[in-house]
Amino acid sequence: MITSTPTPAGLTSRTGARGARGRLAVAALAALATIALVAGASATPAHAATKAWGGYSNGKIPLTSLTKVTNGWLRTDAAKGYSSFSAAFNSKFKKPLSVSEGYRSYTTQKAIFTSRNSPHTKPQHNDTEWAGKYWTRKPGTSLAAIPGTSVHGWALAVDFGANVQKAGTAEKKWADANGPKYGWYPVGNSYGEPWHFEFTPLPVKK
């Protein structure tokens, strides 16, 4: 977080109109730099900015608005991307790209979050605040998004099986390299969940 912007000593020592103009110029540049940095820091994938997709909120999309895939449900465009991804995976490894979980309802998100975190009333180290309490992740458990914020709740995330869930396997390496061709990105790698992929629609070809 930016708390201050250094000002060159030569400018701060000046007085009069010239010094004032200099200080204003530096302040303006600092403000622009701050805006640019904040904008860059808040940049998010297309799906992360999704709000009320199809008129529904996160985790409250009816299955009638989604498409069934192996052991789960996905948004229609994500399901199409998965179908092509799975076909290519099957051609390579002679087995389907299995899905452990796709869409996750709000009720399921809540159950997972509360099972993986312990609540308490006073803040501790690395807490998550939700529902008027502070939550600490239980040892040995995976991360769980705050209910109502999971990408699974937009039907745009999948936890894969078929050996893709294991870092270092041939299947995982292939999936990481080829998934983006179909809109599926190995986002979970950044926090120790090799099985977790998220969908971002591919650019429309003109």
If one compares 161 and 51, the residue with the highest pLDDT of the two is 161
Dihedral, 21, 26, 29, 30 alpha carbons, nearest 10 = -140
Whether 64 and 124 have beta carbons less than 8 Å apart is answered as no
Sequence letter at residue 83: S
**pLDDT score, position 204:** 76
- Cα–Cα distance between 40 and 10 in angstroms, integer? 30
Residues 6+ apart with CB under 8 A from 53: 61, 75, 154
Judge whether residue 44 has pLDDT over 70. Answer: no
Provide the pLDDT confidence category of residue 52 given band limits of 50, 70 and 90.
Answer: low
Write out pLDDT tens, residues 176-185: 999 999 999 9
Higher pLDDT, 36 or 77: 77
Q: What angle do CA 163, 168, 169 make, to 5 degrees?
A: 35
Whole-structure pTM over 0.75, yes or no? Answer: no
Topology given in CATH for the domain delimited by 46-104+150-199: Muramoyl-pentapeptide Carboxypeptidase; domain 2 (3.30.1380)
Which ranges of the chain would DSSP assign to H, the alpha helix?
A: 9-12, 16-41, 76-93, 106-116, 170-178
- Phi and psi at 188, nearest 5°, equal -65, -15
Q: Is 157 helix (H, G, I), strand (E, B) or coil?
A: strand
**35 burial type by CB count under 10 A (0-12 exposed, 13-18 middle, 19+ buried):** exposed
More confident residue, 205 or 147: 147
| Cα 160 to Cα 188: distance, rounded to the nearest angstrom | 11
| Rounded-to-integer distance, Cα 10 and Cα 106, Å | 57
Comparing C-alpha atoms, which of 136, 150, 130 is closest to residue 193?
150
Backbone angles phi, psi at 151, to 5 degrees: -65, -30
Confidence check: pLDDT of 41 > 90: no
Mean pLDDT of 44-58: 62
Amino acid at 12: T
pLDDT of 6 > 70? The answer is no
pLDDT in the model for residue 37:
31
Whether 13 has a pLDDT exceeding 50, the answer reads no
Q: What is the mean pLDDT of residues 160-173?
A: 98
Residue 153: the pLDDT is: 97
13-17, 76-80, 127-131, 166-170: least confidently modelled range: 13-17
Q: What is the pLDDT of residues 103-143, one digit of tens each?
A: 999 999 999 999 999 998 888 777 888 988 999 999 989 88
